[in-house]
Amino acid sequence: MTKQEIVAQMAADANISKKAAEDALNSFIGSVKGSLGKGEAVSLVGFGTFGVSKRAARKGRNPQTGATIDIPARTVPTFKAGKGLKDAV
């Protein structure tokens, strides 16, 4: 499902315009990005939790040449599905 399909479904379900649905979706996405950027988790009961995880620096290997490379530490977004979502799937 694409973003435009989600917007169309939201508009139909809530009986609002596609523009209002798109604005609401963009606001939600922006809020989640902002919270994750601050290192805060976002929890939606019954759906899941968006969080942030830190990956340590490590050594890797270039599969073409076999040369060892350094992979820097980084922060990555995570998602843990809630019970309601797991049951639905």
Q: Which domains are present in the chain? A: 3-88 (4.10.520.10)
Q: Is 52 buried (19+), middle (13-18) or exposed (0-12) by CB count in 10 A?
A: middle
What pLDDT score does 57 carry?
96
Q: What is the pTM of this model?
A: 0.79
- Could you tell me whether strands 48-55 and 68-71 are parallel, antiparallel, or unpaired per DSSP bridges? unpaired
Over residues 65-70, the mean pLDDT reads: 94
Per-residue model confidence as pLDDT tens digits over 6-36: 999 999 999 999 999 999 999 999 999 999 9
d(CA 50, CA 77): 7
